[in-house]
A and B are shown apart, each in its own frame.
Chain A
């Protein structure tokens, strides 16, 4: 039995859910049940897909029975199934969080009835992009998730969201047009858009044409992944969206871009033609992003800048095109999806409990809500790369790979990586000191809700019994679940790193992917400048 035959279900189930929830638009309870049930089912299916390729191997399915390279294929390998499982887990947590928020607030902040179908379509688009073995189908996956994200970004249609939405939509459409132009040119040059077939045929083009197509794809994906200097749209547009929407965008959308870059660099254009520019871009992304974060006084904006900054680590890993680097990058993507999403979810809780996400207004939350402090502290330390968390392990893997490569640029990136990690800690510590440790009276403009309960003079306690209800149990529970999932990535880092390294070996070797799609006897062309294959673990 071909396991990949079930892969299309990862796209179809959320779309089916979207249709059902759209029909149930007037029954919010049924809508919630259907969307959570179908997303859980999708997650189970994806766990099964991951389990079946856990020890390596690639499976492909021809949609509608059309043979490749003419028909559309979907490919399940370790990288894509790992991404699917992580992204669906995160999406499920965010969905539960959003329903909790919707139940607590009613339709005041966001029309929840539209939220469910749109959200499920977003998940379908993400799954489609991860599974696609066809360049145009990848484009369609991107468009599905982008169109859904346009709606989610402007949910409620308030002034700031419309303003942010305009930036987001225009930048995304421009990047999509660039991607489409690249596809047209690739099709014109090779006569195929099947990625496995392209891996064979692109090598026959002359170097100039190859570079042109390569750069076009990199720019299109670079905008989506928010790599400096193509990252300025992100902190401008993400923070205004509703908290769960920002969380899922931060976790997933940029990583789909990173995923596409990894496939471009390993499958379509292997070799090290653009490794140097990519490494420079990675260094600048890390440094410029984190310096931007230090200047912010709003927690959501600060986190958006750290998001941009940490994309640099992943680009660093994949630009080394070594097994150690790529493996660490794969692990880092999985880690970062989880951690960045949990931090945005916690920020949503901070906003509810403290009345604002601005560091000038929030204070004293450690006393007010110790649970919130723990929920923030664990992923925050994880993001900053404090041992023993997965952020530390991922960064360590990247730094090791950089030292192994040993070029001056790699050392510059190693230093830049450590520096970025330290500056992340500084940025996060500022949030911690101000929002959690400082007394509400010391804030520049303390939010009234923080001063609602009088201070107990004996203990200094200010636990507001009156406003504890601001944090619904569903929202705290789903955030807690995601934080625990993040800690789980640390505990099971050993096996995960093994899978990541194995997937890196497969991706750099390419034969497993190409032969799974085009048949076992397809000759795989040698890569022009083979890299030294060093397995670190």
Chain B
């Protein structure tokens, strides 16, 4: 009665190869890695059943410590069936990826990349809204949320532009009531 060292070494090697393979970007290698991990785990479960050399089956005159525990083998059967289903499904996915994209690669999440590249400045949330302090407004907020001003050009255009934040801020400060750059509108502003 001894520990089956060969089995344990094989288990360790399977785990090592499996973990190495699931870290690859190729889908087929990932699948091979998952299969190795599943089989290594099956060996681990088998090892919990008892030492090598115990009786495989129970008969009436076998002492309790003399035969192998059958429960782990039942567990292995279940786990083999499950890993079989998952492997078949993964093969289907790999084939589908090949049909769709002609490649065997795990792809990045495009939306995630897009969000990561989005600048922290958000036009709608972060645009400078002209602050109104005067009782007699020179600019008024129009129905569409944008400042309506009679200033002919320049300032209005720059506020809207997302990637030119400084211009927008400068334009907004120029729109402040009392600013020298603002020509008072004829009809008190508005439409």
Residues of A within 8 A of B (CB): 70, 136, 140, 143, 147, 150-151, 154, 157-159, 162-167, 169-170, 173-174, 176-177, 180-181, 183-185, 187-188, 191, 235-236, 239, 295-298, 301, 430, 434, 439, 441-442, 444
Contacts and interface: CB of A to CB of B under 8 A. Distances in A.
Interface of B: 22, 27, 30, 34, 37-38, 41, 44-45, 47-48, 69, 71-72, 75, 78-79, 82, 85-86, 89-90, 93, 96-97, 100-101, 106-107, 109, 111-112, 115, 118, 123-125, 144-145
A290 B94 CA distance: 34
Given A150-B86, A187-B72, A236-B109, 8 more contacts: A166-B97, A166-B107, A169-B89, A170-B34, A173-B86, A185-B48, A188-B47, A444-B123
Contact of A442 (B90, B97, B144): B144
Contacts of A441: 144
A264 to B, nearest CB: 19
A187 B145 CA distance: 66
Contacts of A170: 22, 30, 34
Given A143-B82, A442-B145, A163 B72 contact: no
A177 B37 contact: yes
Nearest to B101: A159
Nearest to A239: B111
A297 B118 contact: yes
B41 A184 contact: yes
7 shortest A-B CB distances, which residue pairs?
A188-B48, A184-B45, A184-B44, A143-B82, A163-B107, A177-B37, A236-B109
A177 B41 contact: yes
Given A187-B48, A298-B111, A442-B145, A162 B93 contact: yes
A159 B38 CA distance: 28
A169 B100 contact: no
A295 B111 CA distance: 12
Contacts of A296: 115
Contact of A173 (B34, B69, B100, B144): B34
B93 A181 contact: no
Given A236-B109, A236-B112, A442-B145, A184 B48 contact: yes
A166 B27 contact: yes
Contacts of B96: 154, 157, 162
A181 B41 contact: yes
